[in-house]
Amino acid sequence: MFPAILPYLMLALPLSAAVASLLLRDRRVGAMAYVCAAASAVSAAMWSVVVLLHGTQTYSWDTSSVWSSYAITLDPLGALVLLISSLTFACVALYSLFSREGVTVRGAVLFNLFMLSVMLAMVADHVLLLLVAWESMSLTSFLGAWGDREDQDTSAGWRYLAVTHFGAALLIAAFSFLAITSGEVRLSAMLGLSGSLGPAVSALVILMVFLGFGSKLGLLPFHIWMPDLYGRAHSTITSLLSTAASNVAVLVLVRTVFGYVGVGQQQVLALTIMGLAALTALWGAWQALMQAEGSRVLAYSSMENMGLILLTIGAAMLFQSYGAGEPAAFALMAAMFHLVNHTVFKALLLMGAGTVRRATGEGSMERLGGLARTMPGLSAVFLVGVLSVAALPPFNGFVSEWAMFKSLMHAELISDPLVQLALPLAIAVMALCTAIAAAAYLRLYGFTFLGRPRSAGACRPRPMAFSELFPFIPLALLCLLLGVASFPLLRELAASVSQLVGIPGVQVVEGSSISLLHQGGLDPLGLSALLAGGVLLCYLAMRALGPRRLVRGDTWDCGTPLDRRTQYTPTGFSQPLLKVFTKVYAPVTEVREDPRPSPYIRGVRFEQRLPEVFLERFYLPLSAAAIALAMRVKRMQSGSIQAYLAYIMITLIVLLVVLR
């Protein structure tokens, strides 16, 4: 009986909390709303476990609507994604509650409505429910991103709303077309429609769905809202946008491509998706290494990670289109595994960046540093997140990125020369992205927590209570657990995705080792034991050699006293790559000479800005052209009655000539 009420609790608790907060308008009720959100997340996690143990579950509500009965369905693949997403939701809710970030009536209402929308979108088994939940996600995140400050710049929020609504229009068109052509409004009843649609129409529908969901994933060129929104919004909102919203987009995309429509013979489309995803990942990695603010680094990091996930999904489509079912299942499993891992470490990092900004009053790495001494707990959990996102063992990011690399190493199974060229190129792009992004993440940690403080806020940050640190600990433990003992989750993922590609029973886990087609595998547990043993041996050897004699002295400073201004800066760290890729970054440099305090001293101020190329070279000219066109139409609108009669007469004559 109790498992049967879990989905109702999952949906009813955030809705009730939002309504109560809106009606009572009391901060204490708003605080309790976050507790309800955490309880809803626990209910969702428990329902996910029930589905993983007992199989797919469906709940339907019969109505007199023309849209037939409404239903929600949770299958094992959705249960795995919902499980990790709900645990992340619970940690973010507790983080908001304990840190008091966004704990207002408005914040509580929008947080709970966003949570309700995400969970409903994940389990929706009805076209209308899915589209309404997706639109609700966009609106609640848009309103939540503004915060409570009246003077806040909202341009990034409006860009986000415009881009996501363009994507929503594509999704509405695609799913409405699928519902009309199939005669079904239940998503689970749409299976393999590519046979009846034909290859050209199927490709168009898949492309519309891909671009529609890509608008929220940061796919080029729809990423223009991400850096500014991540830099200005509460970390609560950005944590959920980068994780839960992305999970919905990828989950429904995979279900649509491999289930509702089917891949069919879409080799060209698969290669196109892989190319666009590769460009997205490269652009995200390049930009992440240049950003001065930690939140902007993490925005481009999300773009890079989503690009790699979409690249691997494109590879799964390619394998499926050539009939290579097992490599397709492995690639899809690797992409979904990296998706859930990204949920954990990105929520941890965005919450950490928000805590740093709130404790120091500084967002730029140019004014941070030395926080490892004053905030050691936050430094430790943030380091776990950085090592995870940098794909270093034994953490979860390493295992999932290794699996994505491994999934691309099967070009020999396909005789097409273009594919045999495309897959090695994809491996090279993934390796380049991983290397550049790892440097960006280590730069983020080093210049935030190491070195000397570069500002008064970094020197004396606001103390952090243990209750504020507590929500980080489960996420840090998950980063380690999903890396060391990932094989149970991978076994469930493989069983779930193999059903989508039509080859049930694909085995990718043998004991604690991950492999495919009996090629070289990875044993995360054994690797972790080896690393732990090496660290232990080094420690014992140092103890056996005894303590070293410590000599303290001044650092040679060439006659110049060392202070915070003489240490390496984030900008200096990135300059070598900026010099190499000057044509790509197109930096804008400004050098100004300050008034001289004396005839012997010359003050020079150097400033460098990296413009968002897509915004300044594509969207702004497009916006200017649209405004110019609107002004021309305005002249026509403000004409005289004689002009209107002339327009009507001309239109009638044209129609008579055309339709005669």
pLDDT band at 460 (very low <50, low <70, confident <90, very high): confident
Check residue 365 and report its DSSP letter: G
pLDDT band at 151 (very low <50, low <70, confident <90, very high): very low
pLDDT, residue 492, reads 87
Per-residue model confidence as pLDDT tens digits over 210-235 = 999 999 898 988 888 888 888 888 88
Is 129 part of any domain?
Answer: no
pLDDT band at 552 (very low <50, low <70, confident <90, very high): confident
Dist. CA 391–CA 400, nearest whole Å: 8
Q: How confident is the model over 468-489, as a mean pLDDT? A: 89
Is 348 part of any domain?
Answer: no
How many separate domains does the chain show?
Answer: 1
Whether 17 has a pLDDT exceeding 60, the answer reads yes
Per-residue model confidence as pLDDT tens digits over 255-292 = 999 989 988 888 899 999 999 999 999 999 988 988 88
Dist. CA 439–CA 295, nearest whole Å: 16
pLDDT band at 386 (very low <50, low <70, confident <90, very high): very high
- The enclosing H or E element of 395 equals none
Structural tokens at position 640: 């005289």
Per-residue model confidence as pLDDT tens digits over 286-324 = 889 888 888 899 999 999 999 999 999 999 999 998 888
**Which residue, 303, 216, 244, is CA-closest to 87?**
244
Structural tokens at position 496: 């779930």
Is 2 part of any domain?
Answer: no
Cis peptide before 221, with omega less than 30 degrees from 0?
yes
pLDDT, residue 518, reads 55
Question: Which range among 191-195, 425-429, 587-591 shows the weakest confidence by mean pLDDT?
Answer: 587-591
pLDDT, residue 645, reads 76
pLDDT band at 380 (very low <50, low <70, confident <90, very high): very high
Look at strands 509-510 and 601-609 and give their pairing.
Answer: unpaired
Per-residue model confidence as pLDDT tens digits over 74-86 = 999 999 999 999 9
Dist. CA 605–CA 589, nearest whole Å: 11
Hunting for tokens 């609560």 — which residue is that?
Answer: 236
pLDDT, residue 142, reads 87
**Which residue, 141, 345, 327, is CA-closest to 229?**
141
Is 623 part of any domain?
Answer: yes
Structural tokens at position 170: 């594509």
Structural tokens at position 539: 């420690």
For the four alpha carbons of 133, 305, 45 and 516, in that order, the dihedral sign comes to: positive
Dist. CA 306–CA 263, nearest whole Å: 21
Whether 105 has a pLDDT exceeding 70, the answer reads yes
pLDDT, residue 67, reads 63
pLDDT band at 578 (very low <50, low <70, confident <90, very high): confident
Q: How confident is the model over 577-582, as a mean pLDDT? A: 78
Is 330 part of any domain?
Answer: no
- The enclosing H or E element of 604 equals strand 601-609
Is 369 part of any domain?
Answer: no
Is 97 part of any domain?
Answer: no
Whether 108 has a pLDDT exceeding 70, the answer reads yes
Q: Cite the DSSP H helix spans in 25-104.
A: 27-54, 76-99
Mean pLDDT for the chain overall: 84
Q: How far apart are the first and last CA of the chain?
A: 70
pLDDT, residue 628, reads 81
pLDDT, residue 632, reads 76
Dist. CA 351–CA 62, nearest whole Å: 41
**CA–centroid distance for 129 within its chain:** 23
Per-residue model confidence as pLDDT tens digits over 588-633 = 777 777 666 666 666 667 777 777 777 777 777 887 888 888 777 7
SS3 breakdown of the chain: % helix, strand, coil, rounded to 5? 70, 5, 20
Q: Cite the DSSP H helix spans in 218-293.
A: 226-232, 235-240, 246-255, 267-288
Q: What range defines the domain where residue 652 resides?
A: 615-659
pLDDT, residue 21, reads 83
pLDDT band at 638 (very low <50, low <70, confident <90, very high): low
Q: Which residues contact 383 (CB under 8 A, 6 or more apart)?
A: 445, 449
